[in-house]
Structure formats: structure tokens, C-alpha cells
Amino acid sequence: MSTITTKDGTQIYYNDWGKGQPVVFSHGWPLSADAFEDQMFYLASRGYRCIAHDRRGHGRSSQPWNGNDLDTYADDLAALVDALDLKDAIHVGHSTGGGEVARYIGRYGTKRVTKAVLIGAIPPLMLKTPANPGGTPIEAFDQIRAGVQADRSQFFKDLTMPFYGYNRPGAKISEGVRESFWLQGMMAGFPASYFCIKAFSETDLTEDLKRFDVPPLILHGDDDQIVQIGA
């Protein structure tokens, strides 16, 4: 297995496929690097070097109690980028991973970054606050926490329906995709499954976005039921 060890001793697993300009993928909660395997295979087959890590607590990485916050996630990403000495990288983040990319740029700048892609991503802020009235009420995130605590296996299985839009009329449901999501979710440790909810819902990334001085591509579906576009 390809891993790096962070300054607090956490092992971060990563995939590293192909050669060429690096494209670095940051996955969503509660998934792993495997969430991007289709995109990585496509791009690696066409002259790019594709790298995706399992966020701490997720997938094949260590499951520490501490560090399940966006500051540490960004620090782990920086440690991976430095260890692999990546330059002119394109950073792609989905959902929580989009927050990770934003906080990484906010903390470390863009000296190693040439472009950024935020896909259905959490910035600037998911939570409803006086300054963000279009956000999602805290009660919704409390329900997610309760679901994870009560029966996270069933919760992750049920989550696949709105996650992929499979609950919409005419949707073509893939049970294989649902099972892949469930498997990735169950590979995440219980601490990360729980604590990451606060990280992705309550972290304000407004100031991090202001530090973007490379071209960002923002992709967000208007029927995203998880990270709703209105927020």
C-alpha cells in the first residue's frame, strides 16, 4: 500500500496512477479515494497523473480520534502534495473534498496549484446562520449524527438514494453503485463518520475562497439533495 505518515503519526493511504500533469482528487464524506476511480482511470489513460487519498479516518487510512476537521484535512493534503513534490497540480474536490481543497488553498496558497475544481462542494458554508440564511438548519445535521449513531450501516445504505438522485422519477438505479457507496462508508471509522459531519456542515470557508488566484471550475447540480445549491 502507498502511504505517507503525517506529523501526528496518522497514515494516509493514496492511489497514484499514470504520468503527466498531476490531478489530485479529494473525496466526499463518508467515502474514499475509490469514489473517483472512474475519473482517475479516464484521465490516467489520457496523459495525466491522477492521485487520490483516503482522508484520515476514511478508507484505508488510519482511524485517529483527533483531527477530523478541515484544518487537519488540509494539512494532510499538504503533506501528501509535499511528499510527492507535486507541481502545477489541478485539485478536484467533491462535497467535503471541495471544502478540503478550499481550506488547503486558504492555508497554503497556490504555489503548487494551477487550477481548482469544486464539484457539489460545501463552500462557502452549509449551515444556516444569520449571515447565511439560505443554508441548511442545524437540525438536519443533528439528524445525520443521530442516524450514524443509531445504525450507520443502514444509514449509509439509505443515503445512496438521495445522494445519487435515485429517489427521483425515472432514475435508473444501480444496486452495484449503492453497494460500492455502502462499502466505502463502512470502511470509514466511526469517529470520522461522526465528527466529519460537524466539519463539513459548520466550517465557514468564505475567507479561504478569497485566496483563490487560480482558475476555479464550479460544478453544482440544481437538484443536489445533499449539498443544496441554495446554500
Q: What is the pLDDT of residues 93-135, one digit of tens each?
A: 999 999 999 999 999 999 999 999 999 999 999 999 999 999 9
Percent pLDDT > 70 in the chain is: 100
Q: Report the chain's terminal Cα–Cα distance, integer Å.
A: 38
The Cα–Cα gap between 206 and 96 comes to: 15
Q: For the chain, what is the radius of gyration of the CA atoms?
A: 17
Nearest to 32 by CA among 53, 5, 12: 53
Q: Which three cell numbers stand for residue 198?
A: 460537524
Q: DSSP secondary-structure letter at 132? A: B
Residues contacting 77, CB < 8 A, separation 6+: 24, 26, 53, 100, 101, 104
Phi, psi for residue 32 in degrees, rounded to 5: -150, -175
Percent pLDDT > 90 in the chain is: 99
CB 36 within 8 Å of CB 15: no
Residues contacting 13, CB < 8 A, separation 6+: 1, 2, 3, 33, 53, 54, 59, 60, 61
Q: What is the pLDDT of residues 193-224, one digit of tens each?
A: 999 999 999 999 999 999 999 999 999 999 99
The whole model's pTM is what?
0.97
